[in-house]
Amino acid sequence: QSVLTQPPSVSAAPGQKVTISCSGSSSNIGNSYVYWYQQLPGTAPKLLIYDNNKRPSGIPDRFSGSKSGTSATLAITGLQTGDEADYYCATWDSSLSVGEFGGGTKLTVL
Amino acid sequence: QVTLRESGPALVKPTQTLTLTCTFSGFSLSSSGMCVTWIRQPPGKALEWLARIDWDDDKYYSTSLKTRLTISKDTSKNQVVLTMTNMDPVDTATYYCARIRRTVDGSQLSLPFDFWGQGTLVTVSS
């Protein structure tokens, strides 16, 4: 059972917008940055969003992150079939010594 | 450029000890702020964080697995080693290592897994 709660799946049509939620507590998200990772089928995860809402170089601005209190949200606009992947939120516990992942959300672009 | 590669046995027997090596390039684990972490993923399941070692040799472990895990580094070889004792079939997973570039933003510590290895599948079976 993951410490962070994500919906198991979300879906939307190409070109549409989708959001993925990540719920935690004051002992993790509430006191630490949130990160989002994209895992395309059969590949290693890739950093998508860091420090709640920052994008690494090369990540398109269709991907955005936000955090409020003990929850975080990943938004993807202008959905493409290539966005079909598993998305994981992550953070650190309040002591910044234990990493924590969400259970992952499978995105289907219909 | 930064690269990481995991290596180790593909098959281990129950009760055995697993030793995995992460060999990296493009950064030095002796540089301030650099860390390496291990994450695993059972087939079809979610990611699970395992351990982290920092440039100053500070070490951190998963609460549920800390009695079985040991992480160490060989800075001269650009390697990080993870050992996991008493392996069980439920430990069957793809094991990833990743780099963390620790930074401080105001009062907040940033610890993103910014580069990942390709992963290595370890099967536990007799």
Interface size between A and B, measured as CB pairs under 8 A: 68
Q: Which residue of B has its CA nearest to A105?
A: B46
Maximum distance among all alpha carbons in chain A?
41
Per-residue pLDDT tens over the stretch B59-78: 999 999 999 999 999 999 99
pLDDT at residue number A97: 86
Low-confidence ranges of chain A (pLDDT < 70): none
pLDDT at residue number B64: 94
- Collapsing DSSP states into helix, strand and coil, what is residue B89? helix
B111 neighbourhood in chain A, CB within 8 Å = 33, 92, 96, 99
Four-CA torsion B88, B94, B95, B96, nearest 10 degrees: -170
Decide if A101 and B47 are in contact by the 8 Å CB cutoff: yes
Strands (E), chain B: 3-7, 11-12, 18-25, 34-41, 48-54, 59-61, 69-74, 79-84, 93-101, 103-105, 108-110, 113-116, 120-124
- Residue at B75: amino acid letter: T
Rounded CA-CA distance B12/B28 in Å is 31
Per-residue pLDDT tens over the stretch A58-90: 999 999 999 999 999 999 999 999 999 999 999
Confidence tier at B23 by pLDDT (50, 70, 90): very high
Rounded CA-CA distance B71/B51 in Å is 7
Contact A5, A25 (CB under 8 A): no
Find the chain B residues whose C-beta atoms sit closer than 8 A to any C-beta of A.
37, 39, 46-49, 52, 60-63, 96, 105, 108-119
